[in-house]
């Protein structure tokens, strides 16, 4: 597929109530933007994408290979959140569609809600609040504790886990962590060699793992049984990693003193939709509707960040922080014409590209090549010459997935 920058305007579709700053960034770049406050199912999404170049989603919209097949003009998908497991990123790469996300923008918001819930559960604030609303004055220190001196176990020591580790230590907690990758401990945090080791040591367990399929069902009856009696459990990562029935059983039996859950195996698509969970009705369980990163500050930062990645990709071909294409940024060269070429990652493609340029007496003023799994990506700035012949030759190459021409 060959596309020229003269085919403007670029059309963008933003779903699920993405922050208005994203629309502002894109509109300032001259793009046409449609914004919806809800997710779309596969059929409706496919029907809307026939002439869309940029798609912005959050966690509910599923971008499958079938959806991508119905979007021949689509150039990039932006996950305005941390996770990208709702997108078939490999299928997108095979079609030359870049995928971007916001891995850092809502880190602080998730950390703050985790700390707030740890304090609330440790002080039994949820139960005291419910008692007063029911007209019962229960002034007692029984079962209420300070977080200072308590042991926090963090499962998943990434961006969120590490920042939580630092702030929890500042509150006087002792921090233990477990991660399948080799991670450097911050401050006085102690690395555990296994999940079992962590569960046996700590008073509070909080999950901050990613959405890879291998994490499905990672925390169930066996793991809850290995937690210390009277400990607390939090999940602000992915709903499918926890067996909620097993969690309820351990809460009602008294083995666990409380829990806080922000993510669920099945979640409603829109605000106001009906919701059910095995954990409803338990006074010492905090349930929140997937709002760990939903602060105005975080959503604004995410909107600006991902929209900026869209703009840089469309205008300059930059793929910095793309999750599925090689990460390249050639920088701008005034007066040069830029060719952006996505191809199958096989030997000899760069030689073919430069051969076509040489045959047409087109000078290369700057060039970057990167490869990632099945896909190669080349950005080439060129001078004057027979560019029509070059474009025809590049489009005809059997390895070509997508070719764009930028002014």
Identify the CATH number of the domain in which residue 86 sits: 3.40.50.720
Q: Which residue has the tokens 């580790």?
A: 165
**Same domain for 313 and 369?**
no
- Of the candidates 331, 335, 301, 305, the one whose C-alpha atom is nearest the C-alpha of residue 318 is 331
**Same domain for 209 and 299?**
no
**pLDDT number for residue 3:** 52
Catalytic annotation, pick one of 19, 238, 311, 402: 238
Catalytic annotation, pick one of 267, 333, 344, 372: 267
Q: Active-site residue 201, yes or no?
A: no
**Same domain for 66 and 122?**
no
Mean pLDDT by 10 residues, the chain (407 residues): 60 96 97 95 95 95 97 97 93 98 93 98 95 95 96 97 98 98 96 97 96 91 98 96 98 98 90 92 95 93 97 96 97 87 97 95 95 97 88 96 92
**Same domain for 112 and 99?**
no
- Tally of residues, the chain: 407
Q: Active-site residue 267, yes or no?
A: yes
Measure the CA–CA gap between 23 and 29, rounded to whole angstroms: 10
**Same domain for 321 and 332?**
no
**Same domain for 130 and 239?**
yes
Helices (H) and strands (E) in the chain, counts: 13, 17
Q: Active-site residue 337, yes or no?
A: no
**Same domain for 114 and 137?**
yes
Give the bridge partners for 32, in sequence order. 11
Measure the CA–CA gap between 158 and 212, rounded to whole angstroms: 14
Range of 158's domain? 107-287
Catalytic annotation, pick one of 290, 341, 343, 404: 290
Structural domains in the chain (count): 3
């Amino acid at each position: 597929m060959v596309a020229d920058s003269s085919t403007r305007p670029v059309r963008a579709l933003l779903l699920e109530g993405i922050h208005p700053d994203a629309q502002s960034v894109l509109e300032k770049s001259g793009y046409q933007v449609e914004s919806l406050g809800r997710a779309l199912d596969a059929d409706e999404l496919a029907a809307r994408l026939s002439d869309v170049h940029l798609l912005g989603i959050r966690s509910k919209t599923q971008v499958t290979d079938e959806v991508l097949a119905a979007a021949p003009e689509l150039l990039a998908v932006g996950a305005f959140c941390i996770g990208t497991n709702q997108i078939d990123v490999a299928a997108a790469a095979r079609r030359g569609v870049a995928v971007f996300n916001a891995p850092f923008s809502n880190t602080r918001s998730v950390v703050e809600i985790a700390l707030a819930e740890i304090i609330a559960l440790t002080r039994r604030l949820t139960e005291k609040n419910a008692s007063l609303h029911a007209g019962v004055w229960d002034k007692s220190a029984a079962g209420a504790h300070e977080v200072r001196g308590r042991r926090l176990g963090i499962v998943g020591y990434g961006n969120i886990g590490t920042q939580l580790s630092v702030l929890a230590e500042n509150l006087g907690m002792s921090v233990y962590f477990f991660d399948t990758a080799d991670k450097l401990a911050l401050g006085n945090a102690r690395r555990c060699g296994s999940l079992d080791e962590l569960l046996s040591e700590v008073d509070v367990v909080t999950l901050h793992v990613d959405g890879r399929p291998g994490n499905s069902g990672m925390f169930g009856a066996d793991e809850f049984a290995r937690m210390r009696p009277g400990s607390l459990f939090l999940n602000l990562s992915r709903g499918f990693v926890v067996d909620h029935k097993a969690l309820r059983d351990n809460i009602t039996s008294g083995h666990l003193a409380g829990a806080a859950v922000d993510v669920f195996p099945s979640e409603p698509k829109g605000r106001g939709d009906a919701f059910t969970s095995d954990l409803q009705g338990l006074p010492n369980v905090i349930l929140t509707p997937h709002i760990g990163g939903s602060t105005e500050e975080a959503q604004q930062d995410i909107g600006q960040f991902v929209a900026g990645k869209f703009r840089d990709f469309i205008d300059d071909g930059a793929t910095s922080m793309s999750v599925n294409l090689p990460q390249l940024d050639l920088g701008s060269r005034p007066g040069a014409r830029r060719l952006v070429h996505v191809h199958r990652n096989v030997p000899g493609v760069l030689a073919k590209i430069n051969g076509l340029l040489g045959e047409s007496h087109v000078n290369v003023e700057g060039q970057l090549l990167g490869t990632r799994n099945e896909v190669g990506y080349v950005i080439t700035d060129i001078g004057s010459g027979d560019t029509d012949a070059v474009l025809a030759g590049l489009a005809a190459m059997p390895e070509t997935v997508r070719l764009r021409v930028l002014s």
